[in-house]
Structure 1
Amino acid sequence: MKTFSKSKQLRSAITRDKLNGKRVAFVPTMGNLHEGHIQLVRRAKQVADIVVVSIFVNPLQFGANEDLDNYPRTLAADKEKLFAEGVNYLLYPDVEEIYPEGMDQQTLVVVPDLSDTLCGASRPGHFAGVATVVNKLFQIVQPDTAIFGKKDFQQLAIIEKMVKDLCMPIDIIGEETARDVDGLALSSRNGYLTEEQRSIAPALHKTLLDCREAIACGFDSYQELEDYCTEALKNAGFEPDYFSVRDAVTLGEVTGDTEQIVILAAAKLGTPRLIDNVTLTLNPSQDWGMLAAH
């Protein structure tokens, strides 16, 4: 595995690979890698000849009161994991490499509508920071395909729309959420949980599953379900940001034309903010009440 801190050097290596007919897959990360990231890398190896991983803690997507300074940075351990998986190239740039003129002077990429709801409503500017840095990384790596986890469902939707709207010739693959044995979605922020909080944390996924089961059984009063599940999370010890039933394509309200539902939740448990989601496919050939769990 070769490690690059400069974009130009990585791009030269990738250009040579592409001239030799190699297909390139890209996995952007912020480091502190866990099994969920490794699953993305393994998927990348299945679909391409060359696998590129980036580690960059992007300050542009952090708000004023968020945990940028405390975000875990574990480069040595991360490199060991990536080397063991056979990654070809690691891009590890500093902030000046990505934002040479500073972030105040940076052109921003904003995906409208999708960025303003759910996590975007409580974290203003977050998804502009995400879309901008992913766009920059795509320009550096110029991959044929890029792999993202479905745990960040809204982020994945925003990146898919950005790629479509800007006519980028990149296939975006969404990989299923990696979970611990008790259902908790793997996340770098799980390391902040105390032992007691870690025992509570799986209730987030269980509440999502309970909501999905209710809808699959024909309960379609979504506001009532959202209110009930929000209270359930509060009673379990969470501070819910949102619990929402949405159209999985538009992230808007569920309508008669909706073919897939996504149920999303974000909640604080102590300091860490946890997110998760589950989906439900509707059967368009049946009546509205006939649902099939996905």
Structure 2
Amino acid sequence: MTVFVKQNELKDYLKSFWDEKKSIGFVPTMGALHQGHLSLMSESLKKNSLTVVSIFVNPTQFNNPEDLKKYPRTLDSDVEKIKNLDSNIIVYAPTVDDIYEGKTESTSFKYDGLEFQMEGKHRPGHFDGVGTIVKKLFEIVQPNNAYFGEKDFQQLQIVKKLVEKYKIPVKINGCKIHREANGLAMSSRNERLSNEERSKASFIFKTISEAAKLFSKKSAQEVSNWVNDQFKKQNTFELEYFEIADEATLIECKRKNKNKKYRAFIAVFVNNIRLIDNISLK
């Protein structure tokens, strides 16, 4: 199994695949890998001649320095997990300098308003950081296909818009959310939860699942009020936001339209650890 830490060496390796027009699948990650990440790799392995996985904790998408400092970094165990899945996967685990070449800052992007909703409201500059790193990685790897999980659904829509607006020749594939046995959406941040917190965090998915049922017979505002009330009744979690939004525009639903697809989005703090989730609404 090969692990590259320098982009020039990775490019040299990939050149023959580019020249022969062999399909390259790409899974960008920030490490602390779980089954959700591995499922993205499995999808790539099915459809491409080569799969590349990046492991890079990107500093420009963190608006909270403490969150960046505490983000789990587990490169050795990550590489072992990838190796156990398929030893032919190529890993790119660069340093900040290799990616940003001494200039660690974001480029400003416009995503037709997608960037101003939900995460954009609560994490200033976050999607500039996401766009910056994704564009850089696409330019380095030059994949045919890239795979992103639907847990970060807003990010998935942002990346699709980035590719569309900047005419980047890569197909973006969204893959289903993987959940722990209790329903908690798999996330690298889950590693920071205590066993008790992890168990109690099943409340998040249970609540949005019930909200999805309520949406069939109640207004978006009534459902939102109900979710807020549920979180007020307990003291383990701090609800940052719950929103029902149009899947395409991410604009909050004020009045249902049968021709639109909606999704419920939630962000919750558990002992200063931020967890997000979402669910499709029928």
Counterpart residue identity of residue 235, structure 1: K
My pick for the range that moved more, 225-234 or 70-79, is 225-234
Does the Cα contact within 8 Å between 1:110 and 1:131 map onto a contact in 2? no
Tell me, what secondary structure is at the counterpart of 1:67? helix
- Structure 2 counterpart of 1:97: 98
- Structure 2 counterpart of 1:165: 165
Runs of 4 or more off by more than 4 Å in structure 1?
none
Quick one: distance in 1 between partners of 2:98 and 2:237? 38
Does the Cα contact within 8 Å between 2:182 and 2:199 map onto a contact in 1? no
Quick one: distance in 2 between partners of 1:46 and 1:88? 12
In structure 2, the gaps of 5 or more residues are none
- Structure 1 counterpart of 2:16: 16
- What TM-score results when the alignment is normalised by the length of structure 2? 0.94
- Structure 2 counterpart of 1:232: 230
Cα offset, 1:259, TM superposition = 2.4
1:278 matched to 2:276? The reply is: no
In structure 1, the gaps of 5 or more residues are 281-292
Does the Cα contact within 8 Å between 2:243 and 2:252 map onto a contact in 1? no
Counterpart residue identity of residue 227, structure 2: C
Count residues with an aligned counterpart. 278
My pick for the range that moved more, 67-76 or 255-264, is 255-264
Quick one: distance in 2 between partners of 1:127 and 1:195? 31
- Structure 1 counterpart of 2:245: 246
Cα offset, 1:65, TM superposition = 4.1
Does the Cα contact within 8 Å between 1:146 and 1:171 map onto a contact in 2? yes
- Structure 1 counterpart of 2:144: 144
Quick one: distance in 2 between partners of 1:21 and 1:171? 15
Does the Cα contact within 8 Å between 1:61 and 1:127 map onto a contact in 2? yes
Alignment of 1:10-49 (within 5 A): 10-49=10-49
RMSD: 1.5
Does the Cα contact within 8 Å between 1:31 and 1:75 map onto a contact in 2? yes
Cα offset, 1:272, TM superposition = 1.0
Tell me, what secondary structure is at the counterpart of 1:152? helix
- Structure 2 counterpart of 1:289: none
My pick for the range that moved more, 119-128 or 221-230, is 221-230
Cα offset, 1:110, TM superposition = 4.0
Counterpart residue identity of residue 151, structure 1: K
Counterpart residue identity of residue 245, structure 1: I
Cα offset, 1:173, TM superposition = 0.5
- Percent same amino acid among aligned pairs? 39
Distance 1:244 1:119, change over 3 A: same
Counterpart residue identity of residue 7, structure 1: Q
